[in-house]
Amino acid sequence: MTEQLTSSSDTDRQAVTVLGLGLMGQALAGAFLAAGHRTTVWNRSAAKAEELAAQGATLAATLRDAVAASPLVIVCVTDYPAVRALLDPVSADLVGRVVVNLTSGTSQQARETAEWAAQHGFSYLDGVILAIPSAIATDEAVLLYSGPRAAFDAHEQTLGSLGAATSHLGADHGLSALYDMAMLSLMWSVLNGFLHGAALLGTAQVDATTLAPFLTQGLHTMSGWLTATAAQIDAGAYPAEDSTLDVHLAAMAHLVEESEAVGVNAELPRLAQALAGRAVDEGRGGDDYAALIEQFRKPAPR
Protein backbone atom coordinates (compact mmCIF):
# COMPACT_ATOMS: atom_id res chain seq x y z
CA MET A 1 0.00 0.00 0.00
CA THR A 2 2.78 2.43 1.00
CA GLU A 3 4.69 1.39 -2.09
CA GLN A 4 1.63 2.04 -4.25
CA LEU A 5 1.07 5.52 -2.77
CA THR A 6 4.73 6.41 -3.22
CA SER A 7 4.86 5.30 -6.82
CA SER A 8 1.63 7.03 -7.84
CA SER A 9 2.55 10.34 -6.19
CA ASP A 10 5.99 10.18 -7.78
CA THR A 11 4.67 9.51 -11.26
CA ASP A 12 4.77 13.16 -12.36
CA ARG A 13 8.42 13.39 -11.40
CA GLN A 14 9.59 10.18 -13.01
CA ALA A 15 13.19 10.46 -14.10
CA VAL A 16 13.82 10.51 -17.82
CA THR A 17 16.97 10.54 -19.94
CA VAL A 18 17.18 12.16 -23.37
CA LEU A 19 19.97 11.03 -25.72
CA GLY A 20 20.49 13.29 -28.74
CA LEU A 21 20.09 17.04 -28.34
CA GLY A 22 19.61 18.28 -31.88
CA LEU A 23 16.74 20.66 -32.58
CA MET A 24 14.14 18.04 -31.68
CA GLY A 25 16.01 16.41 -28.78
CA GLN A 26 16.43 19.80 -27.10
CA ALA A 27 12.70 20.47 -27.42
CA LEU A 28 11.90 17.02 -25.94
CA ALA A 29 14.26 17.49 -22.99
CA GLY A 30 12.94 21.02 -22.42
CA ALA A 31 9.37 19.69 -22.30
CA PHE A 32 10.24 17.03 -19.71
CA LEU A 33 12.00 19.65 -17.59
CA ALA A 34 9.07 22.06 -17.86
CA ALA A 35 6.72 19.28 -16.73
CA GLY A 36 8.82 18.70 -13.61
CA HIS A 37 10.62 15.49 -14.54
CA ARG A 38 14.15 14.86 -13.35
CA THR A 39 15.79 15.07 -16.76
CA THR A 40 19.24 13.76 -17.61
CA VAL A 41 20.68 14.68 -20.99
CA TRP A 42 23.58 13.56 -23.15
CA ASN A 43 24.70 14.56 -26.62
CA ARG A 44 27.67 13.49 -28.74
CA SER A 45 28.72 17.16 -28.95
CA ALA A 46 28.43 18.21 -25.31
CA ALA A 47 28.01 21.94 -26.02
CA LYS A 48 24.42 21.38 -27.14
CA ALA A 49 23.52 20.36 -23.56
CA GLU A 50 24.63 23.62 -21.94
CA GLU A 51 21.37 25.53 -22.25
CA LEU A 52 19.36 22.60 -20.89
CA ALA A 53 21.82 22.23 -18.01
CA ALA A 54 21.28 25.92 -17.21
CA GLN A 55 17.54 25.20 -17.10
CA GLY A 56 18.02 22.42 -14.56
CA ALA A 57 18.77 19.29 -16.59
CA THR A 58 21.53 16.98 -15.36
CA LEU A 59 24.32 16.77 -17.92
CA ALA A 60 25.65 13.20 -17.71
CA ALA A 61 29.41 12.90 -17.87
CA THR A 62 29.20 9.75 -19.98
CA LEU A 63 26.63 7.98 -22.09
CA ARG A 64 26.63 5.11 -19.57
CA ASP A 65 25.85 7.54 -16.72
CA ALA A 66 23.01 9.01 -18.80
CA VAL A 67 21.45 5.58 -19.33
CA ALA A 68 21.87 4.61 -15.68
CA ALA A 69 20.07 7.74 -14.48
CA SER A 70 16.50 6.84 -15.55
CA PRO A 71 14.13 3.93 -16.16
CA LEU A 72 12.97 5.69 -19.34
CA VAL A 73 15.52 6.51 -22.06
CA ILE A 74 14.42 8.66 -25.01
CA VAL A 75 16.56 8.59 -28.16
CA CYS A 76 16.25 11.23 -30.89
CA VAL A 77 19.14 11.34 -33.36
CA THR A 78 19.52 11.75 -37.12
CA ASP A 79 18.70 8.23 -38.32
CA TYR A 80 18.63 4.54 -37.37
CA PRO A 81 22.32 3.84 -38.11
CA ALA A 82 23.06 6.63 -35.61
CA VAL A 83 20.68 4.99 -33.09
CA ARG A 84 22.55 1.71 -33.33
CA ALA A 85 25.99 3.39 -33.23
CA LEU A 86 24.86 5.23 -30.11
CA LEU A 87 23.16 2.37 -28.22
CA ASP A 88 25.41 -0.56 -29.16
CA PRO A 89 28.14 0.26 -26.61
CA VAL A 90 25.57 0.59 -23.78
CA SER A 91 23.20 -2.24 -24.74
CA ALA A 92 23.95 -4.18 -21.52
CA ASP A 93 23.17 -1.07 -19.44
CA LEU A 94 19.74 -0.76 -21.08
CA VAL A 95 18.47 -4.05 -19.63
CA GLY A 96 15.58 -3.34 -17.24
CA ARG A 97 14.85 0.05 -18.84
CA VAL A 98 12.44 1.17 -21.53
CA VAL A 99 14.01 2.74 -24.60
CA VAL A 100 11.74 5.00 -26.66
CA ASN A 101 13.19 5.78 -30.05
CA LEU A 102 11.75 8.97 -31.59
CA THR A 103 14.16 8.99 -34.54
CA SER A 104 12.48 9.01 -37.97
CA GLY A 105 12.87 5.98 -40.25
CA THR A 106 11.09 3.15 -42.02
CA SER A 107 8.93 0.39 -40.56
CA GLN A 108 11.63 -2.14 -41.45
CA GLN A 109 14.25 -0.17 -39.50
CA ALA A 110 11.87 0.02 -36.54
CA ARG A 111 11.21 -3.75 -36.60
CA GLU A 112 14.92 -4.59 -36.99
CA THR A 113 15.79 -2.31 -34.07
CA ALA A 114 13.07 -3.97 -31.98
CA GLU A 115 14.57 -7.38 -32.78
CA TRP A 116 18.01 -6.11 -31.84
CA ALA A 117 16.61 -4.74 -28.55
CA ALA A 118 14.94 -8.10 -27.81
CA GLN A 119 18.23 -9.91 -28.42
CA HIS A 120 19.86 -7.61 -25.87
CA GLY A 121 17.00 -8.04 -23.39
CA PHE A 122 15.64 -4.51 -23.04
CA SER A 123 12.18 -3.14 -23.64
CA TYR A 124 11.72 -1.03 -26.77
CA LEU A 125 9.06 1.33 -28.09
CA ASP A 126 9.32 2.92 -31.49
CA GLY A 127 7.71 6.32 -31.89
CA VAL A 128 7.20 9.17 -34.31
CA ILE A 129 6.71 12.87 -33.81
CA LEU A 130 4.19 14.56 -36.09
CA ALA A 131 5.26 18.05 -35.08
CA ILE A 132 8.07 20.58 -35.33
CA PRO A 133 10.24 21.30 -32.27
CA SER A 134 8.40 24.53 -31.36
CA ALA A 135 5.10 22.59 -31.17
CA ILE A 136 6.42 20.04 -28.64
CA ALA A 137 4.41 20.11 -25.38
CA THR A 138 1.53 21.96 -27.07
CA ASP A 139 -1.88 20.69 -28.20
CA GLU A 140 -0.57 20.59 -31.78
CA ALA A 141 2.05 17.91 -31.11
CA VAL A 142 0.96 14.40 -32.08
CA LEU A 143 3.23 11.57 -30.93
CA LEU A 144 2.57 7.96 -31.88
CA TYR A 145 4.10 4.86 -30.33
CA SER A 146 4.19 1.16 -31.18
CA GLY A 147 5.63 -1.86 -29.38
CA PRO A 148 4.75 -3.60 -26.12
CA ARG A 149 1.62 -2.09 -24.55
CA ALA A 150 2.91 -2.62 -21.00
CA ALA A 151 5.98 -0.47 -21.67
CA PHE A 152 3.79 2.31 -23.04
CA ASP A 153 1.33 2.08 -20.13
CA ALA A 154 4.19 2.30 -17.62
CA HIS A 155 5.40 5.58 -19.10
CA GLU A 156 2.30 7.07 -20.72
CA GLN A 157 2.05 9.91 -18.24
CA THR A 158 5.69 10.94 -18.71
CA LEU A 159 5.41 10.68 -22.49
CA GLY A 160 2.28 12.85 -22.25
CA SER A 161 4.58 15.79 -21.36
CA LEU A 162 5.62 15.91 -25.02
CA GLY A 163 2.21 16.63 -26.53
CA ALA A 164 -1.51 16.50 -25.96
CA ALA A 165 -2.12 13.68 -28.46
CA THR A 166 -0.17 10.62 -27.39
CA SER A 167 -1.36 7.25 -28.72
CA HIS A 168 -0.27 3.64 -28.66
CA LEU A 169 -0.99 2.06 -32.06
CA GLY A 170 -0.28 -1.61 -31.39
CA ALA A 171 2.37 -4.22 -30.64
CA ASP A 172 3.92 -4.22 -34.15
CA HIS A 173 6.95 -1.91 -33.85
CA GLY A 174 6.59 -0.89 -37.50
CA LEU A 175 3.20 0.75 -37.04
CA SER A 176 4.33 4.18 -35.88
CA ALA A 177 6.68 4.56 -38.89
CA LEU A 178 3.89 3.47 -41.26
CA TYR A 179 1.46 6.05 -39.81
CA ASP A 180 4.24 8.64 -40.20
CA MET A 181 4.67 7.62 -43.86
CA ALA A 182 0.93 7.91 -44.49
CA MET A 183 0.93 11.43 -43.06
CA LEU A 184 3.98 12.40 -45.15
CA SER A 185 2.32 11.03 -48.29
CA LEU A 186 -0.78 13.10 -47.59
CA MET A 187 1.25 16.20 -46.73
CA TRP A 188 3.37 16.19 -49.90
CA SER A 189 0.37 15.37 -52.10
CA VAL A 190 -1.55 18.34 -50.70
CA LEU A 191 1.44 20.71 -50.86
CA ASN A 192 2.36 19.63 -54.40
CA GLY A 193 -1.25 20.15 -55.51
CA PHE A 194 -1.21 23.65 -54.04
CA LEU A 195 2.14 24.49 -55.65
CA HIS A 196 1.00 23.21 -59.03
CA GLY A 197 -2.20 25.26 -58.73
CA ALA A 198 -0.21 28.36 -57.72
CA ALA A 199 2.06 27.88 -60.77
CA LEU A 200 -1.01 27.67 -63.03
CA LEU A 201 -2.61 30.83 -61.58
CA GLY A 202 0.75 32.57 -61.67
CA THR A 203 0.60 32.45 -65.47
CA ALA A 204 -2.48 34.72 -65.21
CA GLN A 205 -0.73 37.07 -62.73
CA VAL A 206 -2.82 35.80 -59.79
CA ASP A 207 -0.59 35.49 -56.75
CA ALA A 208 -0.55 32.51 -54.38
CA THR A 209 -1.95 34.58 -51.51
CA THR A 210 -5.09 35.27 -53.52
CA LEU A 211 -5.48 31.59 -54.41
CA ALA A 212 -4.81 30.21 -50.92
CA PRO A 213 -8.21 30.92 -49.22
CA PHE A 214 -10.06 29.37 -52.16
CA LEU A 215 -8.03 26.15 -52.03
CA THR A 216 -8.14 26.09 -48.21
CA GLN A 217 -11.92 25.95 -48.43
CA GLY A 218 -11.66 23.14 -50.99
CA LEU A 219 -9.30 21.23 -48.72
CA HIS A 220 -11.77 21.52 -45.88
CA THR A 221 -14.52 20.00 -48.07
CA MET A 222 -12.22 17.22 -49.30
CA SER A 223 -11.20 16.24 -45.77
CA GLY A 224 -14.80 15.13 -45.29
CA TRP A 225 -14.44 12.62 -48.14
CA LEU A 226 -11.85 10.44 -46.41
CA THR A 227 -14.29 8.57 -44.17
CA ALA A 228 -16.55 7.47 -47.06
CA THR A 229 -13.51 6.57 -49.21
CA ALA A 230 -12.10 4.50 -46.34
CA ALA A 231 -15.38 2.60 -45.99
CA GLN A 232 -15.29 1.69 -49.71
CA ILE A 233 -11.63 0.63 -49.51
CA ASP A 234 -12.32 -1.60 -46.50
CA ALA A 235 -15.44 -3.09 -48.13
CA GLY A 236 -13.55 -3.73 -51.41
CA ALA A 237 -16.53 -2.31 -53.33
CA TYR A 238 -16.52 1.11 -55.00
CA PRO A 239 -20.02 2.15 -56.12
CA ALA A 240 -19.84 5.65 -57.65
CA GLU A 241 -21.95 8.01 -55.59
CA ASP A 242 -21.03 11.40 -57.03
CA SER A 243 -18.75 10.87 -60.01
CA THR A 244 -17.16 7.96 -61.83
CA LEU A 245 -13.49 7.36 -62.53
CA ASP A 246 -14.28 7.97 -66.23
CA VAL A 247 -15.35 11.52 -65.35
CA HIS A 248 -12.23 12.08 -63.25
CA LEU A 249 -10.02 10.80 -66.07
CA ALA A 250 -11.54 13.27 -68.55
CA ALA A 251 -10.89 16.16 -66.13
CA MET A 252 -7.30 14.97 -65.64
CA ALA A 253 -6.76 15.26 -69.40
CA HIS A 254 -7.89 18.91 -69.15
CA LEU A 255 -5.41 19.53 -66.34
CA VAL A 256 -2.53 18.00 -68.33
CA GLU A 257 -3.51 19.99 -71.43
CA GLU A 258 -3.83 23.23 -69.46
CA SER A 259 -0.47 22.74 -67.74
CA GLU A 260 1.31 22.04 -71.01
CA ALA A 261 -0.41 24.92 -72.81
CA VAL A 262 0.64 27.55 -70.23
CA GLY A 263 4.12 26.05 -69.85
CA VAL A 264 4.06 24.78 -66.26
CA ASN A 265 5.28 21.38 -65.06
CA ALA A 266 2.71 18.70 -65.97
CA GLU A 267 4.28 15.73 -64.14
CA LEU A 268 1.80 15.79 -61.25
CA PRO A 269 -1.41 15.66 -63.34
CA ARG A 270 0.26 13.13 -65.66
CA LEU A 271 0.84 10.83 -62.69
CA ALA A 272 -2.82 11.10 -61.68
CA GLN A 273 -3.84 10.47 -65.30
CA ALA A 274 -1.60 7.39 -65.57
CA LEU A 275 -3.00 5.84 -62.37
CA ALA A 276 -6.62 6.49 -63.30
CA GLY A 277 -6.00 5.39 -66.88
CA ARG A 278 -4.73 2.00 -65.72
CA ALA A 279 -7.73 1.57 -63.41
CA VAL A 280 -10.09 2.37 -66.29
CA ASP A 281 -8.21 -0.11 -68.51
CA GLU A 282 -8.83 -2.72 -65.81
CA GLY A 283 -12.56 -2.07 -66.01
CA ARG A 284 -12.99 0.42 -63.15
CA GLY A 285 -14.26 3.37 -65.25
CA GLY A 286 -17.76 3.21 -63.78
CA ASP A 287 -16.52 2.98 -60.20
CA ASP A 288 -15.82 5.58 -57.53
CA TYR A 289 -12.37 7.22 -57.17
CA ALA A 290 -11.71 4.84 -54.23
CA ALA A 291 -11.13 2.07 -56.83
CA LEU A 292 -7.66 3.60 -57.38
CA ILE A 293 -6.58 1.87 -54.16
CA GLU A 294 -5.94 -1.19 -56.33
CA GLN A 295 -3.29 0.78 -58.25
CA PHE A 296 -1.64 1.98 -55.05
CA ARG A 297 -1.55 -1.54 -53.59
CA LYS A 298 0.94 -2.78 -56.18
CA PRO A 299 4.27 -1.51 -57.48
CA ALA A 300 4.14 0.78 -60.52
CA PRO A 301 4.64 -1.08 -63.82
CA ARG A 302 8.11 -0.58 -65.28
Nearer to ligand NAP, 185 or 243 (CB): 185
Residue type present at position 262: V
Long-range contact list for 216-224, CB < 8 A, 24+ apart? 219/190
What span, in angstroms and rounded, lies between the C-alpha atoms of 201 and 212? 11
- For residue 48, state whether it binds ligand NAP (rule: CB under 6 A): yes
Residues in the interface with ligand NAP (CB under 6 A) total 22
Q: Are 73 and 28 in contact (CB under 8 A)?
A: no
What span, in angstroms and rounded, lies between the C-alpha atoms of 115 and 124? 9
- The CB-of-153 to ligand NAP minimum distance in angstroms stands at 24
Q: What is the number of helices (H) and of strands (E) in the chain?
A: 13, 8
- The CB-of-220 to ligand NAP minimum distance in angstroms stands at 25
- For residue 273, state whether it binds ligand NAP (rule: CB under 6 A): no
- Among 68, 91, 133, 262, the residue binding ligand NAP under the rule CB under 6 A is 133
- For residue 24, state whether it binds ligand NAP (rule: CB under 6 A): yes
- Among 52, 73, 75, 77, the residue binding ligand NAP under the rule CB under 6 A is 77
- The CB-of-46 to ligand NAP minimum distance in angstroms stands at 8
Return phi, psi of residue 129, to 5°: -115, 115
Q: Are 233 and 257 in contact (CB under 8 A)?
A: no
- For residue 271, state whether it binds ligand NAP (rule: CB under 6 A): no
- For residue 76, state whether it binds ligand NAP (rule: CB under 6 A): yes
Strand partners, 41: 18, 59
Dihedral-angle region of residue 137 (phi above 0 means left; psi in -120 to 50 means alpha; beta otherwise): left
Nearer to ligand NAP, 42 or 122 (CB): 42
- The CB-of-172 to ligand NAP minimum distance in angstroms stands at 20
- The CB-of-19 to ligand NAP minimum distance in angstroms stands at 8
Beta strands in the chain (DSSP E): 16-19, 39-42, 58-59, 72-75, 98-101, 123-130, 142-146, 165-168
- Among 4, 6, 9, 45, the residue binding ligand NAP under the rule CB under 6 A is 45
Nearer to ligand NAP, 129 or 268 (CB): 129
What span, in angstroms and rounded, lies between the C-alpha atoms of 60 and 40? 6
With contacts defined by CB under 6 A, name the span among 54-62, 73-81, 182-190, 281-289 that binds ligand NAP. 73-81
- Among 61, 85, 92, 253, the residue binding ligand NAP under the rule CB under 6 A is 85
What span, in angstroms and rounded, lies between the C-alpha atoms of 135 and 165? 12
- For residue 20, state whether it binds ligand NAP (rule: CB under 6 A): yes
The binding site for ligand NAP (CB under 6 A) comprises 20-25, 43-45, 48, 76-79, 82, 85-86, 103-104, 129, 132-133
